[in-house]
Structure 1
Amino acid sequence: MVEVPLPNATFPRPAFFLLTGIPGLRGTQAWLTLVFGPMHLLALLGNGTMLAVVQVDSTLCQPMFLLLVTLAATDLGLDTSVGSGLLAVMWSGTRPVPYAACLVQMFFVHALTAMESGVLLAMACDGAMAVGSPLHYSILVTKARVGYAALALALKAMAIVVPFPLLVARFEHFRAKTIEHAYCAHMAGVELVVGNTRANNLYGLALSLAVSGVDILGITGCYGLTAHTVLRLPTKEARAKCSSHVCVILAFYVPGLFSYLTHHFGHHTVSKPVHILLSNIYLLLPPALNPLIYGARTKQIRDRLLETFTFRKSQF
């Protein structure tokens, strides 16, 4: 049973929060598991398979594939942080989450999201350099530099997201114990606290606009240069691959920016069920699509998978 917050009522810091899933759809949201369940499984299987293939085949230990591994590991972590809990809430209803676990989930969800945005930018830069300067690519892009870049992206993501749980943890009293969301998002928790949340609101807005804005500008520039070269090529495969990458970028950033901006500016005009539904799609759809777009459509990985399945089939 979900509590109804009373006017001017306050509660001490709770031991548990209650996640409700999508408000207004509690009677029918179990059907959404038919949508989010396959996304969750596809993300786990696809990213896990891509990690295994690159690890087994030493010929794939090249800069481009190391970036794919970084993206797959990020997607696997993001899906693990959200997917199973999301399905549990949608299938069985309200789910209790310990206070500390909620803050931990808040940190990992936002850190992995920032990490994924950075990796997508790095991959766009890598593609632009491979297409624009193929003769200098092997000199400029090395395994060591890719490793340093991945480490820098991880450290940056953790550093900029650490304030999120800390800004929530400083509050001692809450208006309610029920979070009308499917996971512990920063702004969903801020809605419950009692006190001045100006710092939370400003930091969340500034961070989302700065990180997403800078990355989107960089990705747009890199894909613009890549498309300028690719569209002049006679092969339809290169054009289709470029178009599919753009679709993945849109699937990641459009729902994400919509979610962030409606929290700050559109919560009176956009219904909460729509807002929360899009925020869930924003976290689960890209991890499900990335293995198909970046992995299965990469010739070396596809050939390795076909070789593995063909070899196993011949043994029976």
Structure 2
Amino acid sequence: MNGGAVNLLEVDDLVKHFPIQEGAVLRRTVGQVRAVDGVSLTLAPGETLGLVGETGCGKSTLARCIAGLHPVTSGKVTFDGQDITNLSRSAMRPFRRDIQVMFQDPYGSLNPRRRVGSIIADPLVIHGVGTAKERRRAVAELMERVGLNPEHYNRFPAEFSGGQRQRIGVARALALKPRLIICDEPVSALDVSIQAQILNLLKDLQDDFGLTYLFIAHDLSVVRHVSDRIAVMYLGRVAELAEADELYDHPRHPYSDALLSATAVADPDVADRRGRVVLTGDVPSPIDPPSGCRFHPRCPRAQEVCSVREPVLEGAAHLTACHFPIGPGEGAPR
């Protein structure tokens, strides 16, 4: 490992297309699903980058490409100064210890036929870390660290609640002491009160172990509390990227403004005063995205140039891909 890289993770113009094939015997490609279509991101050590957007915008596909679970169509993924794009399974193996994934569904991501102690110990067994006795002790310590009773080592996943199952997922992700954890909507399947517990746990673990997070979610109110910076994705591309407070207080892309206007507010008086941006139409198909700006068919600020020329993601600290970005005081009231 390099160790001297300024950024722990760099994603450069990453593209992931899934072929659409027809024919039972002679398969032929008739189109492509453009799930991720030219995304560039950086992630510094110890930072949390939030990645938000509607369902189907390419967030999870991007995460799986970064983790090496999907081959990349084009582009480059660099981890700690080393190119890990489309490595073979054996070449990727050393990086598996440093890059772990927390999955969305705490029910579906755990094998119901195996005991939780074995599930948490899997990364240690796969990478040959420690003896059986040392692994058992490490699992007990991990369970205690994430708020689980080590005495429940031999229980099955069905004997735990949803929040506890997600804690099992956290413990499994931590087992190899990774540097980067990709959190793929880790709290979306949980109740609000349990969400807060898991988010607080992730924050404490980050402080204790110096973890770096790529935190994926569709709930903007969740992302704000855990992220240093936020990237907003729309139809396979990044529409806006900025510091968390800056994006929430002064969104520049109309899509970000619409998402923020739809977030829940606890105070009813504030909710009444706050403006709401209602988007018309559905998200276009990633098989045949619109020409020019991909958001222009639903954008309240769109003009003729938006359907012809694709905007470039540009700016200093606050990057926006929009021909007519929102200026100060122009967006929905906060």
Q: TM-score, normalised by structure 1?
A: 0.23
Higher relative contact order (CA 8 A, sep 6+): 1
Greater share of residues in strand: 2
Greater share of residues in helix: 1
